[in-house]
């Protein structure tokens, strides 16, 4: 084999030294930048493209200085200035260690003089690349055993962020995005001088604190919100992780921008999809080494959603907003081309993709916090009810507090505890923290075409849910409660099950907690806790039962430091005690005492 790299770099020089068995072609080839991956590095090489019966045949030059390529036994010329143009298009970067952003810029560049082509290894989708991780690292300090797909995802994010500076974590709901982020932070523990920043909706603050304390306690946290806010940037450098809300971040942007963060993580990142929103404009000004937006729905409305997330993760990757909109109009073709460029930095896996790694049922508790208005209302309801009913006050008060936690607009109208009217109050919002959280869960489930069962003890919750979710089109809604005739219940389930696409069935656990088979649903949300764990278990079994072929994700929403937290705790230990010979009562005096003694505290 001749040493082609040692031969003359110009085609004229080659004419005098044609190797034995080789011939020259006079046809000039189109010059090409060839992108490839070598281990963890991207590289660029000079080459040329030859069309053979409509198929592109990419050929590499002996070196980036040679103006010709080898095609079997034929040497084919490139334009004389191809090596010079190659260097101009790459700029000052090392072609053997090409930044990902430069690779994408070259692929996006339309230049008649030289185009760019990438091997499949360069644009491999995050999901496929994660599947190929063969030796994922178990982070030190993580108090949990990751599922195999989670361990591969953490390793992929670690490797990819090291090359790009950012990724988009878009795993479907229920797959554990939070614990993967915790594991990732533990792989390179932030220090107090440059902590990690987690920005999330108010309704997720309690969940982040709880999950970090549970799975990564060495990641000391500081919640920057309300009265716990600092007035200077140095006040944020007191822990390894700072957790704040989007609105607080906007209000205190001068403080957050006063230091460089090791990570900025955006949970429910649809909050920054609108480029003109205050949240989006503020958060991109925060200095950061690495960025990860988290969302199960990277594109909800237009391709601009994806630009906004990508530009936060890797600033400038897809050009300016105006450049992007001109290059990628909202069309199927543009979407496919855009996906080819962004798939390598997006980790998006569905439950069905990793079902073999998962248990049949995934249980997720989501703690929430009442806002300050609801805290005042909660305390007032407790005190007023206990004063009004000195004998039966405990029972009445716990029910009134359950109503409030379900929604402050609910008012009991009969002795049946599930019956309640909706009485709107201008002093109380429609979208409470619990409504905000369930709406986010439903939005993501609907975007993925999944069917959801919502269990709510109070019958009018379904009406409130539909009002909150009015901007989610194409969803089938159904409901079964105590007033639904027995003969109508199975037809309602059948319509829900046979509906093509997203659907939600709101059930009262007492009325529909037994006898129905609803295996079309793969997401179960307990909107209101119940005192009897057997009722909850029977309700969840409507979806998680024989005939179910996919993992079922079961969520329980509850407010911290309220009667609901006592109900959740009680359900856990009573479930361990309960069996056929040890019946579990609805509630007991100790439960009532604890439920009325615990009180939420304002931030």
* Phi, psi dihedrals of residue 593, rounded to the nearest 5°: -60, -45
Q: Nearest to residue 603, comparing CAs of 243, 178, 215?
A: 243
Q: What is the 3-state secondary structure (H, E, C) of 411-452?
A: EECCCCCCCEEECCCCCCCCCCHHHHHHHHHHHHHHHCCCEE
Task: Count the domains in the chain.
Answer: 3
232 and 159, same structural domain? yes
Q: What is the pLDDT of residue 514?
A: 62
- Give a yes or no: residue 421 inside a domain: no
Q: What is the pLDDT of residue 574?
A: 46
149 and 37, same structural domain? no
315 and 203, same structural domain? yes
Q: What is the pLDDT of residue 579?
A: 39
Q: What is the pLDDT of residue 512?
A: 65
151 and 105, same structural domain? no
- The string of pLDDT tens digits covering residues 22-59 is 999 989 999 999 999 988 889 999 999 998 887 889 99
What whole-number distance in Å separates Cα of residue 332 and Cα of residue 296? 20
DSSP for residue 314: S
pLDDT above 70 as % of the chain: 95
- Give a yes or no: residue 433 inside a domain: yes
As a whole number of angstroms, the longest Cα–Cα distance in the chain is 110
Q: What is the pLDDT of residue 580?
A: 35
Contacts 24+ apart (CB under 8 A), 420-427: 420/458, 420/459, 420/460, 421/460, 422/460, 422/463, 422/464, 427/373
171 and 107, same structural domain? no
- Give a yes or no: residue 177 inside a domain: yes
Which of 118, 147, 173 is a domain's end point?
118
Which of 118, 138, 167 is a domain's end point?
118
Q: Mean of the per-residue pLDDT values for the chain?
A: 89
Average pLDDT over residues 355-370: 90
End-to-end CA distance of the chain: 75
CATH number, position 145: 3.40.50.10810
Sign of CA dihedral 77, 78, 81, 82: negative
What whole-number distance in Å separates Cα of residue 531 and Cα of residue 277? 43
Average pLDDT over residues 322-348: 93
CATH number, position 578: 3.40.50.300
- Give a yes or no: residue 409 inside a domain: no
Q: Nearest to residue 434, comparing CAs of 408, 472, 399, 398?
A: 408
C-alpha neighbours within 13 Å on the C-beta side of residue 305: 18
27 and 135, same structural domain? no
Beta bridge partners of 36: 43
pTM: 0.88
Q: What is the pLDDT of residue 34?
A: 96
235 and 268, same structural domain? yes
Q: What is the pLDDT of residue 588?
A: 67
- Give a yes or no: residue 382 inside a domain: no
Q: What is the pLDDT of residue 243?
A: 97
Average pLDDT over residues 359-385: 92
Cβ neighbours of 47 (radius 10 Å): 22
Instruction: Using alpha carbons only, give the angle 491, 495, 501 rounded to the nearest 5 degrees.
Output: 165
- The string of pLDDT tens digits covering residues 135-169 is 888 899 999 999 999 999 999 999 999 999 999 99
55 and 189, same structural domain? no
Q: What is the pLDDT of residue 267?
A: 96
434 and 339, same structural domain? no
- The string of pLDDT tens digits covering residues 13-22 is 888 888 888 9
Beta bridge partners of 480: 507
Q: What 3-state class would DSSP assign to 290?
A: strand
Residue 54 backbone zone (phi > 0: left; psi -120 to 50: alpha; other: beta)? left
Tell me how far CA of residue 489 lies from CA of 450, 517, 524, 548, in angstroms.
Answer: 21, 11, 18, 20
292 and 354, same structural domain? yes
DSSP for residue 348: -
- Give a yes or no: residue 346 inside a domain: yes
276 and 148, same structural domain? yes
Which of 343, 358, 373 is a domain's end point?
358
- The string of pLDDT tens digits covering residues 63-82 is 999 999 999 999 999 999 99
- Give a yes or no: residue 191 inside a domain: yes
Average pLDDT over residues 294-323: 92
Q: What is the 3-state secondary structure (H, E, C) of 5-37?
A: HHCCCCHHHHHCCCCCCCEECCCCCEEEEEEEE
User: What is the span of the domain harbouring residue 62?
Assistant: 4-118
Residue 591 and residue 532 in contact, taking contact as beta carbons nearer than 8 Å: no
Q: Locate the DSSP E strands across 53-195.
A: 55-60, 68-71, 74-77, 115-118, 168-169
140 and 90, same structural domain? no
- Give a yes or no: residue 600 inside a domain: no
Structure tokens at 312: 């936060």
């Amino acid at each position: 084999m001749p040493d082609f790299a040692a031969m003359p770099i110009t085609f004229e020089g080659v004419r005098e030294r044609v190797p034995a068995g080789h011939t020259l072609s006079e046809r000039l080839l189109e010059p090409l930048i060839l992108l490839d991956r070598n281990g963890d590095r991207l590289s660029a090489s000079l080459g040329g493209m030859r069309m053979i019966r409509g198929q592109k045949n990419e050929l590499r030059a002996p070196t980036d200085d040679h103006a010709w390529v080898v095609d079997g036994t034929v040497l084919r010329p490139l334009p004389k200035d191809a090596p010079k143009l190659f260097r101009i298009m790459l700029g000052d970067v090392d072609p053997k260690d090409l930044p990902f952003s430069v690779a994408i810029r070259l692929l996006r560049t339309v230049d008649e003089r030289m185009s760019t082509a990438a091997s499949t290894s360069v644009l491999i989708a995050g999901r496929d690349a994660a599947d190929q991780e063969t030796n994922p690292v178990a982070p030190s300090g993580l108090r949990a055993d990751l599922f195999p797909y989670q361990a591969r995802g953490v390793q992929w994010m670690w490797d990819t962020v090291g090359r790009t500076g950012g990724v988009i974590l878009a795993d479907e709901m229920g797959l554990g995005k939070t614990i993967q982020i915790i594991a990732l932070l533990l792989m390179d523990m932030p220090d107090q001088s440059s902590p990690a920043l987690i920005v999330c909706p108010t309704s997720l603050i309690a969940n982040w604190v709880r999950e970090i304390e549970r799975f990564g306690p060495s990641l000391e946290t500081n919640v920057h919100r309300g009265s716990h806010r600092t007035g200077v940037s140095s006040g944020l450098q007191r822990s390894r992780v700072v957790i704040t809300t989007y609105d607080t971040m906007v209000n205190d942007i001068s403080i957050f921008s006063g230091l460089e963060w090791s990570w900025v993580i955006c949970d429910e990142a649809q909050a920054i999809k609108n480029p003109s929103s205050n949240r989006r404009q503020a958060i991109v000004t925060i200095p950061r080494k690495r960025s990860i937006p988290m969302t199960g729905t990277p594109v909800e409305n237009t391709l601009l959603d994806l630009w906004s997330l990508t530009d936060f993760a890797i600033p400038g990757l897809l050009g300016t907003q105006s450049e992007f909109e001109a290059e990628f109009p909202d069309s199927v073709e543009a979407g496919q081309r855009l996906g080819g460029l962004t798939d390598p930095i997006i980790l998006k896996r569905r439950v069905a993709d990793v079902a073999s790694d998962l248990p049949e049922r995934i249980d997720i508790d989501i703690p929430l916090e009442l806002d300050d208005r609801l805290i005042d209302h909660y305390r007032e309801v407790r005190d007023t009810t206990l004063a009004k009913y000195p004998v039966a006050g405990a029972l009445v008060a716990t029910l009134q507090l359950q109503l409030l936690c379900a929604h402050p607009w609910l008012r009991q109208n009969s002795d049946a505890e599930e019956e309640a009217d909706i009485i709107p109050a201008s002093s109380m919002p429609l979208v409470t923290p619990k409504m905000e959280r369930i709406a986010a869960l439903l939005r993501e489930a609907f975007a993925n075409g999944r069917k959801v069962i919502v269990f709510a003890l109070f019958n009018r919750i379904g009406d409130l849910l539909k009002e909150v979710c009015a901007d989610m089109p194409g969803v089938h809604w159904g409901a079964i409660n105590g007033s639904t005739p027995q003969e109508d219940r199975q037809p309602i389930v059948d319509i829900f099950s046979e509906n093509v696409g997203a659907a939600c069935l709101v059930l009262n656990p007492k009325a529909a907690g037994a006898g129905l088979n609803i295996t079309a649903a793969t997401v179960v949300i307990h909107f209101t806790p119940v005192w009897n764990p057997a009722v909850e278990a029977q309700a969840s079994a409507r979806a998680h039962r024989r005939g179910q072929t996919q993992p079922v994700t079961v969520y329980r929403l509850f407010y911290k430091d309220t009667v609901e937290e006592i109900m959740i705790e009680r359900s856990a230990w009573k479930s361990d005690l309960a069996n056929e010979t040890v019946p579990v009562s609805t509630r007991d005096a100790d439960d009532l005492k604890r439920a009325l003694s615990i009180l939420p505290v304002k931030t």
